[in-house]
Amino acid sequence: MNRWIYFAPAFLVLAIGGLFLYVMVADIDTKNIPTPLKDKALPEFALPSVHDPDEILRNTNLSDQPYLLNVWATWCITCRVEHPVLYRLAQDEGVKFIGLNYKDSRDEAIDWLAEYNDPFSKNIYDEEGTLGFDLGVTGAPETFFVRGDGTVAYKHVGEIDYDNWNNKLKAIYESL
């Protein structure tokens, strides 16, 4: 019985190695994480605007036109890379973005938008991350494609860049 204890580390190493090999070989798309909100309305919320704490934004008063709900934060390095692309898409192609400032400092968010330009027609301040939690946000950036009736059509995990915009995301947005 005692000699099996000497084989336990070997079995553990084999199990971890097998799992590692499976993840490396399997074709797992970490950018296309499905959302349980697909074809469902955004969760109900009432949160302040980033710029005006007295302005309360709700799921019912965001827009009656299709838009992209972009989850961002000043602490997010990838958001800094993505931000100029969002601004250009809003300016040059008329893409409607609504921001969800996630677990951030209001003052830092306002300074960020002043420094890097503001692509958002509205910007929700989610200091505690409650709306992010209800949306199933796993990190920033994430973008929800929302129809004019307030239902979620698609969720994109990671940054929006010109490559994925032109090759996939633009068609999804235009289909809204």
Within-domain flag for 2: no
* Beta pairing partners, 42: none
Span 94-112, pLDDT tens digits:
999 999 999 999 999 999 9
Within-domain flag for 12: no
pLDDT at 55: 97
Total domain count for the chain? Answer: 1
- Average pLDDT in the chain: 90
Within-domain flag for 7: no
Instruction: State which residues form the domain around 100.
Output: 31-175
**16 pLDDT band (50/70/90 cuts)?**
confident
Within-domain flag for 96: yes
Nearest alpha carbon to residue 175 among 68, 34, 98, 88: 68
φ and ψ of 160, to 5 deg:
-95, 125
Higher pLDDT, 53 or 27: 53
**Among 11-25, 61-75, 133-147, where is mean pLDDT lowest?**
11-25
Within-domain flag for 4: no
d(CA 97, CA 18): 43
Within-domain flag for 76: yes
Span 124-135, pLDDT tens digits:
999 999 999 999
d(CA 123, CA 142): 15
When pLDDT is averaged across residues 11-37 and rounded to a whole number, the result is 66
Q: What is the DSSP string of 141-165?
A: SEEEEE-TTSBEEEEEES---HHHI
**72 pLDDT band (50/70/90 cuts)?**
very high
Within-domain flag for 155: yes
Instruction: Give the whole-number percent of the chain exceeding pLDDT 70.
Output: 82
**Among 10-14, 25-29, 153-157, where is mean pLDDT lowest?**
25-29
pLDDT at 1: 57
Within-domain flag for 22: no
- CATH number at 117 reads 3.40.30.10
